[in-house]
């Protein structure tokens, strides 16, 4: 039989997940481009609300701001959730739930009919909150894989796959489990990139693709 403390903790856990989701669901790419007079970012390029598609407007500053804010909303969710911790709902568990919520919120924002970005920036933001050192490791793996293959998507996917292992080695098993789940979702969201990699049609860094393949962001 479930203890009374579990029932007390359940609303707190739900609140942490909801807090993360609502922060993650803020579509900064869409908001910033509209405020800058660039229209609806979903109508150009890949239709994605992330920084990569914002860059297609030619506004590097807007793209950088989108990248930063999409990361920070993940960081903010993880850091804020422990503020509502109780004896029955430990801060560490709330941080994990808020991080997952922020990631899912970015991918599936209710305000945009659940059509969001691919989550790499928010993935990094959540990771920074758990371990800045492992976040540096993420960047190192990304750079190494992207530099070796010249594919941005390979860099992001390799780094996401390495993150759970790095967190486990850093003695953060709960965070490692969270990022294992997030990495699987990241790979699923990048299915079109994986298909193009297998077909040899994925765009390389610094090189335009021959012809007009479908536009689809790698991050």
Token pair listed for 167: 């967190």
For residue 1, name the pLDDT band (cuts at 50, 70, 90): very low
For the chain, percent of residues with pLDDT exceeding 70: 91
What is the rounded distance in angstroms from the CA atom of residue 106 to the CA atom of residue 116? 6
What is the rounded distance in angstroms from the CA atom of residue 34 to the CA atom of residue 25? 17
For residue 21, name the pLDDT band (cuts at 50, 70, 90): very high
For residue 216, name the pLDDT band (cuts at 50, 70, 90): low
Residue-wise pLDDT for 29-44, tens only, equals 999 999 999 888 888 8
Q: What is the mean pLDDT of the chain?
A: 90
User: Which pTM was predicted?
Assistant: 0.89
Which DSSP state fits 56? G
The answer to whether 41 and 54 have CB atoms below 8 angstroms apart is yes
Q: Where in the chain are the domains? A: 1-118, 131-206
Residue-wise pLDDT for 134-143, tens only, equals 999 999 999 9
Region 187-197: what's the mean pLDDT?
92
Least confident interval from 3-7, 17-21, 119-123, 166-170? 3-7
């Amino acid at each position: 039989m479930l203890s009374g403390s579990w029932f007390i903790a359940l609303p707190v856990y739900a609140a942490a997940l909801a807090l993360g989701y609502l922060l993650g669901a803020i579509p900064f790419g869409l908001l910033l481009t509209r405020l800058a007079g660039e229209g609806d970012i979903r109508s150009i390029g890949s239709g994605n609300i992330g920084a990569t598609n914002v860059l297609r407007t030619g506004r590097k500053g807007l793209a950088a701001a989108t990248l930063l804010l999409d990361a920070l909303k993940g960081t903010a969710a993880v850091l804020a959730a422990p503020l509502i911790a109780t004896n029955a709902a430990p801060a560490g568990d709330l941080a994990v739930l808020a991080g997952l919520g922020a990631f899912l919120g970015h991918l599936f924002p209710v305000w945009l009919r659940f059509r969001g970005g691919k989550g790499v920036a928010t993935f990094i933001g959540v990771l920074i909150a758990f371990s800045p050192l492992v976040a540096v490791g993420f960047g190192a793996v990304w750079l190494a894989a992207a530099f070796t293959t010249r594919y941005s998507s390979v860099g992001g996917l390799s780094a996401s796959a390495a993150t759970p292992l790095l967190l486990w080695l850093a003695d953060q098993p709960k965070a490692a489990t969270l990022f294992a789940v997030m990495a699987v979702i990241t790979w699923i969201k990048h299915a079109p990139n994986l298909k193009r990699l297998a077909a040899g049609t994925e765009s390389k860094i610094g090189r335009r693709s021959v012809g007009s393949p479908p536009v689809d962001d790698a991050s």
